[in-house]
Amino acid sequence: MASHRKSRPAGTRVAGIRTPALATAALTSVALLSQTANASPSTDDKPSLEEVEKKVDDLYRQAESATEKYNSAKDKTTKQRKRVDTLLDDVAKRTQKLNEAREELGRNAAAQYRTGAAAPDTATFLLADNPQDYFDQTQLMDRMTGRQKESVDDYFTQQSETMEKRREATQSLETLTDSQNDLKSAKATVQQKLSDARELLSKLTAEEKARLAAIEKRKQEEAARKAAELARQQAEAERQREEAAAAQQQESTQPPAESGTSDSSSSSDSSYATKAEKTLAFARSQIGKPYVWGATGPDSYDCSGLTQAAWKAAGVDIPRVTYDQVNAGTTVPLSSAQPGDLVFFYDDVTHVGIYIGNGMMIHAPKPGAYVREESIYYDGESSIHSVVRPA
């Protein structure tokens, strides 16, 4: 299945690695008592804590990638099934009309022989693969009225169209089968990756989980620091834009007729802000609901299911999966991100969140987690792929 990609903003980056939140509040409390963030080197065949952490992160990433492939295959399967049902219904109706037309032609053929010495072989006609041959061989066409000939022409047209629809339905059924196989494969991959991650985590001791929680806490603190810095930079950039606009207004010598561009731009910004406000209101109301792969609400979501539902609440339809959502709008620099914009992550564009300002977003993070507000740097600056404004 082909992935839809969008050119990234200037700059080089590599895929980031997320660290799942592994500890409860109690484990976090224990973690704060521990001053050792890194595991000691392994003395046996057991992997180090860092190796387990990286492996679990990789498995979650692979599961999320497979989830988007599952979503895409599911979307295609649903659309293809509707197409197949429509085609099969059309073929059934056409076949019925064709049979009625065939019977009518049989009656016409019989009528042409009523004054002749022999009766027509009606059974042969009704069972013929090609009625045209029957008519040609018996020279019935020469003896038919204009209306009867029109009936024959109509029959042959219907026959040709019905055969074409049957071929189209057969091809659509084959495509549907392929989509269903892709769906099963993606589902199996998600389940296997999550199972592998759970197995690794189940082997950790309470102490190891506490140390991982301490590492996670420090990463969250660093992400929050970067978010605050981005917020400061955006505020400064906005202040400079306002000063520049004020200075330009004072020095402007343009006639009033040319001021419409500014009014139009202001109106457009206002319209987007209104939609973004509705989007964020919906997203905030979903905070605390569980991440479930393949879910689109209302009780649970995966990352792209949440963003699609949030923007739909604002009256804007965006595609189902991240591969398509990243192309459903205008790419803007991170420094110009506005509330409501979609922030995409990783080179394979397999995660997305809704920007809320100040370097923060609302997103459905991963299996085992819940919809929440979090820094867009939750998995490192290099994990950010692009920012897209949907409307």
Q: Which residues have a catalytic role annotated?
A: 303, 351, 363
Burial (CB < 10 A; 0-12, 13-18, 19+), residue 208, is middle
Q: What does the DSSP assignment read for 286-313?
A: TTTPBB-TT-BSSS-B-HHHHHHHHHHH
- Tally DSSP H helices, then E strands, for the chain: 9, 6
Angstrom distance (rounded) from CA 338 to CA 359: 10
Torsion, CA 290, CA 291, CA 297, CA 299, rounded to 10: -20
Alpha helices in 252-353 (DSSP H): 260-285, 303-313, 322-325
Cβ pair 340, 276 in contact under 8 A: yes
Angstrom distance (rounded) from CA 309 to CA 364: 12
Cβ pair 94, 197 in contact under 8 A: no
Cβ pair 377, 73 in contact under 8 A: no
Cβ pair 329, 391 in contact under 8 A: yes
Among 79, 4, 21, 67, smallest CA distance to 296 is for 67
Among 216, 232, 222, smallest CA distance to 365 is for 216
Among 229, 220, 237, smallest CA distance to 333 is for 237
Among 8, 67, 14, smallest CA distance to 365 is for 67
